[in-house]
Amino acid sequence: MTYSETYNAESKAPTHSARIKHGQGKQAHFETVGVAWLNEDGKITVQLYGKQIVEGRIYCSRIKNSEA
């Protein structure tokens, strides 16, 4: 996937979901804690929901286009 395929300057909708991982291996599950946008300069802006404590990594995965 190229940068131009992911970034859409005309859309204000988030391009990624922000999640944290709980557990390991097959027992692991992901909790969505916010959304993210891919910016024009290639950086990602993350907006977290609420006031939770986030420890460890935040995984940003592309939101699949509902039109496809």
Domain ranges of the chain: 3-62
Q: What is the pTM of this model?
A: 0.71
CB 41 within 8 A of CB 24: no
11-66 pLDDT, tens digit each: 688 999 999 999 999 999 999 999 999 888 989 999 999 888 888 899 999 998 75
Strand 59-62 and strand 16-22: the pairing is antiparallel
